[in-house]
Structure formats: C-alpha cells, structure tokens
C-alpha cells in the first residue's frame, strides 16, 4: 500500500522535471530517463495495487464468512418465540444483505482509507514543497467541501435503516409467495399477490431513491470543487510563471496533479463514510441477531436416561406478542408407554401444549416434569433427543428420500430405512420411483403428495425408536385404511414409546388409551373414549358431528 502511494506521489515530480528541464532546456536524455522511471513506477504501483486489492478482498471475505457462520449459528439456536419476533424475511435480509454491507465497509476500510490518508497528507506536503500559495488555495476550498459532504451523509444516515426494513418486507412477501405458490394458484390470487408485492417493492424503490437523491450531490460537488481549485491554481500559478516569479509551467502541472490526488482522497473518504453510514444501520441489525441469546436456556441435567411419566403441574402459557393466555392452569399426567390423544377445536392450544414438553417454548407459569425432573433443568440436546416429532406442517428438505429419513438417525443403514418405511406404509410408493430411496424430492418435498410427505416425515421421526413421540395431526392426508395399517405396524415397532397424538378425527383418537379434551386453553376432561362418550358434552358433539359427516 505505502509503495503504491509513494509511486503515485513521485510521478508529478518526474513530469515536472520533464516539462521544466527536459522540454524547457531541450534535454532529451532527461526526458527518456524520467519517462522510463515513470513507466517503472507505474508498473510497480499497479503490482502493489493488485496485491493490496487481493489482500483487502481476502480479509473482507474472511470477515463476512465468519460473521455469516456466527450469525447463522445464532439464528438456528433461537427459540420459536424469537424467530417469530424477528420474522423469517428479516432474518434472511440480515444474514445476506446486511452482512454484505459490512463486508463492503471492511473491504474499503482496509485499503481505501489508508490510501486516502496517505494521498491526502503526501499530496499536501508535495504541494507545499512546490509553492506554499498552492496549499493555501486548497485550505480555503477543502473545509467547504468537507462540510457539505458531512451534511449530505448526516441527512442520508437514517434513511439507510428504512431501506433495510423495506428490504425485509420485500423478502417476506417473496418468501410467502414462493413457499405458498400452490395456494396462490389454487385461489387464483396471482394478481392480488402481484399488487401486494408491487406495494412493498415500490416502497423499497422509493426509499432507495430518497437515499440516492441525497448521495447523488456528492459526486458533482466534488467535480465542481476540483474544477474551481484547478481554475484558481491555473490562474495563480500561470500568472506567477508569466511574471517570472520562480514558478514554471511544470510546477503548475505538478500542483494540478496533487490537487487531483488530494480531492480524490477526500472523495474516497466520503465513499468510506457513505459505506459506514449504510453499514452502521446494517451492523445494528446484525448486532440484534448476535445479541439475541436464546430465551430458552439449556439446563445441566443429562436427560438421556429418562423414560418416565410426563406431568403438567398448573401450567399456563401466553405468547409475548399477544399477552393473551393460550393455556390455563393445565394439570395432566401422561403415563409412560401409553398413547394419549389430544382433541379440541382450532385454537384451543393443542399444538402449544405439546411444544412446551421439548421446550420449544417455556411455560409462563407452572412446571412440566419428566419423572421428577423439571424440563427446564434438563440439558436441551439430551432432552430433545428423547423425542420423535412430526409437526403439523410437514417439513422436508431438498435431497433424497433416504437423506430426509436419516435426519432421525444419521447412521441408519438402508435396511433400517426400508424397515421403517414398511412400518409407515411408504415402501411401496418409494420402490415405485425410478431411483427408489435415492429419489430427489425437490425443495420441501415438492415432488411428493401430501400423504407421501407425511409418511416420510413419520419415518424420519420413528426410525430412531424415540422414547416419546409427538404426532401433531400427522396423518390428516392419509385415508383411513392406510392410517389404520400404519398405526398397527407402528404399535409393534414402538412397543415402549410414549405417544402423544394431536388429532382432528375421532377415529384416530379412539386408538389412544386416553383422550384429553382442550377447550379455549382449558383441560376439560381426560379419559377413555367410552367414558368420554358417556360423560363429556364437547366430545359427544365432536363424535356425533363426525359420525354424521361420515354417514
């Protein structure tokens, strides 16, 4: 870097000697000598500049790479509650666009800032060595120029945060429409969604243009001051050269070169501060992610040997975003090895109830015990390894069928995968694919039907023979015959597993040893199918309404 700048600062002196001595005194040897020096200096400067760019780029990319890794690690350890608060679109923007803004800053600050300072200081020293009056002209112009740049940057600063927030909104709408493309098409909502995207996209465009309009003044302002300074130096230096006051044409030309260097260094600093202003907003947003320590903290007690009853004691829960109680004073015992079904209307708190057991959320009041251990005291990794979970919304990953199933047991053999697929009634349709278990299923399993995706998700959950299994309406896309065969085979495969089954269909819940009824966050009953059918009005309504629909 230093050698590159020194080379640039040397060039105007050599050019001055060529004009004043070589041309002025007709010394062709000096012209050739200085010309050769200038070529060598330019080549050295170019080589040093190349090395400087490579090193600064490598440093910036390394910084961004490490920051993305750290931020991603933080994101995947956030609780469900924190992920909901940030929103997926915002997290994507923070880990991509915001970190890219920080990378640009690091890339510029490691090279441009040092280069600008050296050019600025070296240029002024060299101008003073030619004639102090040139530097005085510059000292009049520079404060005005720097003040204007500061005013523009200060006005633009708050807009950068607005631009990044607008980017969040655009990403959120895009993500919703890509992931929900089938629903959009099914309801013929393409035009509506296009208009909704247009609103967010227009907001991003308008906010970006607001910043651009302000920043656009900096370039022309710099050019204006460069031209004004050039005119003054030409007038002043030319007058002194004509008067024979010690200045020559070569001195004026060298001074003009140094003016260009000095003003260019100011331009570089302005660009750096523009990046700082933009990166400051991005840095604050990334910092929010990095400082978001998981609200669900791991305990210290190893849970790997636990295989006991699950007990809810006076459990209440509310989501911080709403403050409204979702579960109210729940007391429930799930016995080791039993199948417990949970029924209730939409919004009654069924999914929330089961999400509290592996601590995707923590209870607001009360406690949940496995055996005699409060789940909040248990090590999170060992706790969650006890569970096989099939969520309400089936989530598969791009890749092969066998890779998705091995999420539940990374070291599973092909024979184990085939065995579990036979249990979940998936082997026949998987074998029918050209590539069998190596079939690539596309993003989120896009090439599979709803029932096929559910069976792959169930296979993933049970292949490790978990001690506890949570089914969140996980067979809703299966016909009754397939569902019956699946449960029969699974009962033999998971002989000692405690199963918690959220069901919408009574025919599914009837298979359980007991059925818990939730109503508006309250546990109103927990008994066998036969007893509930005799004693519980809510269960009777559900049962007979479904019986009527099926009839």
Residue 306 maps to a domain? yes
For the cut 70, the answer to whether the pLDDT of residue 495 exceeds it is yes
Mean pLDDT for 217-226 is 77
Domain contains 252: yes
The reply to whether 279 falls in a domain is yes
> Is residue 182's pLDDT more than 70?
no
What pLDDT is attached to residue 529? 92
Look at residue 484 and tell me if it is in a domain: no
Co-location of 70 and 52 in the same domain: yes
Say what the pTM is. Answer: 0.67
Are 171 and 200 found together in one domain?
yes
Q: For residue 1, what pLDDT is reported?
A: 58
CA nearest to 498, candidates 357, 352, 344 = 357
- Asked whether residue 276 falls in the same domain as residue 148, the answer is yes
Would 264 be classed as within a structural domain? yes
Task: List, for residues 111-130, the tens digit of each pLDDT value.
Answer: 777 788 888 888 888 888 88
Neighbours of 420 (CB within 10 A): 26
User: Which residues 6+ apart lie within 8 Å of 396 measured at CB?
Assistant: 404, 441, 444, 445, 448, 453, 456, 457
How distant, in Å, are the alpha carbons of 66, 165, 198, 387 from that of 475?
42, 39, 38, 18
Question: For residue 10, how many other CB atoms are within 10 A of its CB?
Answer: 17
User: Does one domain contain both 281 and 308?
Assistant: no
What are the backbone angles phi and psi of residue 374, rounded to the nearest 5°?
Answer: -65, 130
Contact 106, 60 (CB under 8 A): yes
Residue 185, pLDDT score: 57
Asked if residue 314 and residue 274 are part of one domain, the reply reads no
My answer on whether 37 and 184 are in the same domain is yes
Q: Are residues 305 and 277 in the same domain?
A: no
Instruction: Kindly state whether residues 322 and 231 are assigned to the same domain.
Output: no
Residues 471 and 540 in one domain: yes
- For residues 410 and 376, membership in a common domain is answered with no
Separation between Cα atoms, residue 133 and residue 124, nearest integer Å: 11
Based on the fold, state whether residues 443 and 356 are members of the same structural domain: no
Nearest residue to 421 (alpha-carbon basis) of 371, 398, 387, 455: 455
Cβ distance 64 to 19 under 8 Å? Answer: no
Report the CATH number at residue 405: 3.40.50.300
User: Is residue 369 assigned to a domain?
Assistant: yes
What domain range includes position 460?
394-465
Q: How far apart are CA 268 and CA 110, in angstroms?
A: 12
Q: Which of 290, 313, 348 is the last residue of a domain?
A: 290
Q: Tell me the average pLDDT across 408-423.
A: 93
Count Cβ atoms below 10 Å from residue 363 Cβ, excluding itself.
21
The DSSP line for 294-347 is -SS---SB--TT----EEEEEEEEE-TTT--EEEEEEEEEE-TT-EEEEEE-TT
Q: What is the pLDDT of residue 365?
A: 94
Query: Based on the structure, what is the number of domains in the chain?
Result: 3
User: Residue 105 corresponds to which tokens in the numbers above?
Assistant: 């800053």
Model confidence pLDDT, tens digit, residues 6-61: 777 777 777 777 777 777 777 777 778 878 888 888 888 778 778 877 888 888 88
Q: Lowest-pLDDT range, 38-52, 63-77, 376-390? A: 38-52
Q: Is residue 487 part of a domain?
A: no
In a domain, 486, yes or no: no
| Model confidence at 388: pLDDT above 70 | yes
Backbone angles phi, psi at 187, to 5 degrees: -100, 10
Q: How far apart are the first and last CA of the chain?
A: 84
């Amino acid at each position: 870097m230093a050698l590159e700048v020194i080379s640039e600062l040397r060039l105007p002196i050599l050019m001055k000697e060529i004009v004043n001595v070589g041309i002025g005194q007709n010394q062709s040897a000096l012209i050739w000598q200085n010309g050769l020096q200038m070529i060598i200096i330019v080549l050295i400067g170019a080589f040093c500049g190349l090395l400087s760019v490579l090193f600064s780029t490598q440093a910036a990319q390394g910084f961004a790479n490490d920051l993305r890794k750290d931020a991603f690690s933080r994101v995947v350890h956030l609780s469900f509650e924190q992920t909901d608060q940030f929103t997926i679109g915002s997290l994507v923007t923070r880990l991509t666009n915001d970190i890219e803004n920080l990378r640009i800053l690091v890339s510029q600050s490691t090279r441009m800032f040092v280069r600008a300072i050296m050019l600025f200081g070296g240029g002024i020293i060299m101008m003073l060595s030619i004639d102090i009056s040139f530097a005085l002209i510059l000292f009049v112009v520079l404060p005005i120029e720097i003040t204007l740049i500061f005013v523009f940057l200060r006005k633009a600063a708050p807009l950068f945060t607005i631009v990044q927030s607008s980017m969040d909104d655009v990403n959120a709408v895009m993500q919703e429409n890509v992931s929900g493309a089938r629903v959009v098409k099914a309801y013929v909502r393409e035009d509506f969604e296009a208009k909704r995207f247009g609103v967010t996209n227009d907001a991003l465009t308008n906010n970006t243009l607001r910043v651009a309009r302000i920043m656009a003044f900096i370039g022309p302002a710099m050019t204006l001051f460069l031209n004004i300074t050039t005119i003054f130096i030409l007038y002043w230096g030319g007058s002194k050269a004509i008067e024979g006051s010690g200045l020559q044409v070569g001195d004026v030309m060298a001074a003009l070169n140094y003016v260009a260097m000095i003003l260019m260094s100011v331009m570089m600093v302005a660009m750096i501060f523009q990046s700082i202003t933009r990166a400051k907003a991005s840095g604050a947003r990334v910092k929010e992610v990095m400082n978001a320590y998981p609200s669900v903290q791991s305990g210290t007690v190893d849970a790997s040997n636990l295989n006991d009853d699950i007990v809810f004691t006076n459990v209440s829960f509310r989501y911080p975003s709403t403050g409204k109680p979702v579960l109210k004073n729940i007391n429930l015992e799930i016995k080791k090895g039993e199948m417990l079904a949970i029924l209730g209307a939409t919004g009654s708190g069924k999914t929330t109830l089961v999400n509290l057991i592996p601590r995707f959320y923590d209870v607001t009041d009360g406690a949940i015990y496995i055996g005699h251990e409060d789940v909040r005291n248990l090590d999170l990794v060992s706790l969650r390894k006890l569970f096989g979970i099939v969520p309400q919304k089936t989530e598969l990953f791009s890749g092969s069928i066998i890779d998705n199933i091995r999420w539940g047991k990374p070291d599973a053999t092909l024979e184990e995968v085939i065995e579990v697929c036979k249990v979940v009634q998936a082997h026949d349709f998987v074998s029918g694919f050209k590539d069998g278990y190596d079939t690539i299923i596309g993003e989120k399993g896009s090439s599979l039907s709803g029932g096929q995706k559910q069976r792959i998700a169930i296979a993933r959950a049970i292949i490790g023979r978990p001690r506890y299994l949570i089914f969140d309406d996980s067979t809703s896309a299966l016909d009754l015959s397939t569902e019956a065969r699946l449960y029969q085979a699974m009962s033999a495969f998971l002989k000692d597993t405690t199963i918690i089954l959220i069901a919408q269909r009574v025919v599914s819940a009837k298979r359980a040893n007991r059925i818990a009824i939730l109503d508006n966050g309250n546990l109103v009953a927990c008994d066998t199918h036969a007893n509930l059918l005799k004693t519980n009005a809510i269960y009777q309504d559900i049962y007979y309404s479904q019986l009527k629909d099926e009839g």
